Amino acid sequence: MSGSEAAADRGHVAVITGGTKGIGLACAQLLAGQGMQVFIGARSADDVQDTAAKLTAEGGGVVRGATVDVTSTDAVREFVSRAVHEFGPVDVLVNNAGISGGGVTADLTEQTWDSVLDTNLNGVFRMTHAALNEGGMRHLSWGRIINIASTAGKQGVVLGAPYSASKHGVVGFTKALGNELAPTGITVNAVCPGYVETPMAQTVRGNYARAWGISEDEVLRKFEAKIPLGRYTTPDEVAGLVGYLTSTTADAITAQALNVCGGLGNF
C-alpha cells in the first residue's frame, strides 16, 4: 500500500491556520467536502467553534479546531498536538494565517516590521516544524505542505515592504524545504494569490486610500485595472489550487510557487 493510500484508508487529516475567514475558510470547506478530517485554527475561539460546526453540518469530512497564535511556538505545538489527539497524524498542512502591514518605509516602526515577519514568515516555519514533529508528518511516506504566499512574494509592492519581504521569505522557504523533502513523498508548494476579495483586502484598500488621499472605490478601480482578468480572484478559486495540490495527481509537483492571480503576475 502506498503512503497516499494508507493515509486515505484512515482518512486524510488536514490542518489549516487562519481557517475561519477568506482563503482559509474556502480551503477548509473544500477539503472537508472531499472527505478529509479538517482541524482549523484562528485567534478567536468563537469563530473556530462556529466555523467548525457549520462546515461539519454541511457534510463531507468532520471539522474541528482550536485557537492558535502562530507567533507563539508553545501555542503552535499545543495546537498541532490537539489536532493529532483529535484525528491522528497530520497529512496535509495549509499555512494560511497572515497579516497585512506596510506604509512609507522610512516611517515604519520596528514593531510593524517584526509583527508582519513574525506572523507571515516565522509562523509558517513554526507550523511546519510542528506538523513534521508533533504532527508526525516526518514519519509518513506521503504528505502535503501548502503555504499561502502571494504574488507579492515574487515582486515588490509599493508601501508593502514588510508584507512583500515576508512573502518572499515564504517562497524561498517553500523551495528549500520542497527540495529537502522531495525524496520522502512529502511535497511542499506555495500558492501565490494576487488580489483576492477577503476581509484583509478591505483593510488593505482602506490603508491605501488613506495613504493616497483617495476613496476606497478609487483604490479598487486602480487595482482592478492592473489585473488582466479585470477582477479580483475569489477565495474559492485559490482553494481550488490548494485542493489540486492535495491530490495524488499532483505527486510530481513540489518546490513550486504557483500563481492564482487573474494574470496579474506572469512570473
Query: Active-site residues: which are they?
Result: 163
DSSP string for residues in 57-80: HTSSS-EEEEE--TT-HHHHHHHH
> Residue 85 and residue 61: Cα distance in Å, rounded?
17
> Residue 215 and residue 243: Cα distance in Å, rounded?
36
Q: Give the list of residues 6+ apart from residue 191 with CB closer than 8 angstroms, or none.
A: 146, 147, 148, 149, 238, 241, 242, 245, 258, 260
Burial 41-66 (b: 16+ CB within 10 A, else e): bbeeeebbeebbeebeeeebbbbbbb
Dihedrals phi, psi of 94, to nearest 5 degrees: -115, 105
Q: Are 127 and 148 in contact (CB under 8 A)?
A: no
Closest CA to 91 of 129, 145, 45: 145
Pairing of strands 143-148, 256-260: unpaired
Expressed in percent and rounded to 5, the helix, strand and coil fractions of the chain are 55, 15, 30
> Residue 179 and residue 198: Cα distance in Å, rounded?
32
